Amino acid sequence: MTRATDLTNAIDSALREIAPGDFNTDIKAVYGVGEVRPDKSPLPCLLIRVDSDEGMERVGVKVKRLAQYQIEGVFPRTTTLQELQLCHHDVLKSLGYGQNQPGMPISPGWVGEEFVQFDLAGDGSVYRTFTASISFEYVETY
């Protein structure tokens, strides 16, 4: 395994933990990188995509890398903006954003910049979504 595969697996695992109790949202399914969300899948669900992964600094066989992931939340059209915002918060919390606690699935310091866009189902769409773009720094050894 590489640090890149470890990171993808940790993100997938952390997002699958979002459920009532510690979180506000009851996520019905998580579709990892490369998985296709089936038609009529249970909602709400999350989709994980890798947007980019680039080397930044090299020292010998180690390279500091910056990976950009997109996490998309898909909800029924009746979902409110506030419910989308709560799920966005849950996504960040599950990934350890702003936290520095040992035992988190994502190592402290990996989660970097983040921004989100909300789509409130205009023009006849049957879904409401948000897409969070989150960057993660990690060191890969070659």
Residue-range domain boundaries for the chain: 3-141
Kindly report the pTM of this predicted structure: 0.90
Cis bond before residue 108 (omega within 30° of 0): no
In our burial notation (b when 16+ CB lie closer than 10 A, e otherwise), range 44-75 reads: bbbbbeeeebeeeeeeeeebebbbbbebbbbb
pLDDT band at 102 (very low <50, low <70, confident <90, very high): low
User: 98 by DSSP, 3-state: which?
Assistant: coil
Q: What is the pLDDT of residue 121?
A: 75
Whether the predicted pLDDT of 30 surpasses 80: yes
Tens of pLDDT, residues 35-78: 999 988 999 999 999 999 999 999 999 999 999 999 999 999 99
Q: Class of 3-141 per CATH?
A: alpha beta
Torsion angle, alpha carbons of 18, 88, 21, 76, to 10: -80
Q: What is the pLDDT of residue 19?
A: 94
pLDDT band at 104 (very low <50, low <70, confident <90, very high): low
